[in-house]
Amino acid sequence: MVLHTDNVGRAWDAGESSWTSTDAILYALGVGAGTAELAFTTESPTQLTLPTFPLVLNGHRNGSLADLIGDFDHARLLHGEQSISLHSAIPPAGTARATAELEGVNDKGRDAVVWLKSALRDGSTDALLAELRTGLFLRGAGGFGGPRGESVPWQPPDRAPDHIVSYHTSPDQALLYRLSGDRNPLHSDPGHAARAGFDRPILHGLCTYGFTGRALLHTLCGSDPDEFGSMSARFAAPVLPGQTLNVLIWVTGDDDAVFQTRVGATAVLDHGTFSRRAR
């Protein structure tokens, strides 16, 4: 496998995405919101949108990864890390234009990490809505002599979490979440999941991420999307639909926190950081 590291810095127009209030509600239901969160799951009286919703607008989609970084086995591609920064609350319906960039390719020895970033701007006002940064882990693609990249230390405080939020996922959670756009059969087809080494279909990593975003929103932002600034986390282990997610939150400053999402004793989202938006 030869990676096109000379494409680092290449940017492209990632197209336009439009969504309706139904799309925003469907996403909220897909990440576990329900009757306790009617502001996000109905259009009355004033519909709100979950801050992690831009992740399904997929600002990279018009850039072919094979053309961008070289041929690779998609079965060896993992979503390794994700961050999102909000610049305003996301409207319940609208249009956004996306730009994207290949930010970097790191050589981790045996493996490689590809970094993509994108920005979403309001299609009517050109106001910046959100910035996304995605780390893709390519197993077996390292050893090409590129930069290793910095390793950012992360350690929760040596004390009990300030908050623990538990959410039960439904056995059908992945079937609902996939309606927001990710139709990968790994999350719906038992045969495909078995070929990938799983007993049954697994939950989308970004679904777990959305559940965690809800916990941060309600616990640290008073359920106000205008207060939600940024969150980042690494995907550490798969989740099976029906399992319980426990979000452990340590407050580290007036506007900052670190978090970890676990199933039992296993971290499924790790190296979590959160900041409220500066007003």
Q: Which residues are catalytic?
A: 182, 187
Bridge partner residues of 17 (DSSP): 96
With residue 130 as reference, give the H or E element that holds it. Answer: strand 128-138
Whether the Cβ atoms of residue 232 and residue 259 lie closer than 8 Å to each other: no
d(CA 40, CA 79): 27
Element (H, E) at 12: strand 11-19
Dihedral angle at the C-alpha atoms of 19, 115, 71, 209, nearest 10 degrees? -50
Residue with tokens 């426990």: 246
Going by DSSP bridges, is the β-strand pair 256-263/266-276 parallel, antiparallel, or unpaired?
antiparallel
Are 134 and 81 contacting, i.e. CB atoms less than 8 angstroms apart?
Answer: yes
Cα(133)–Cα(195) distance, rounded to whole angstroms? 29
d(CA 250, CA 258): 5
Residues in the chain: 279
Amino acid of residue 135 = G
Q: How far apart are CA 208 and CA 89, in angstroms?
A: 21
The full DSSP string for 187-227 is GT-HHHHHHTT-SSPPPPHHHHHHHHHHHHHHHHSTT-GGG
Q: Indicate the DSSP class of residue 237.
A: S
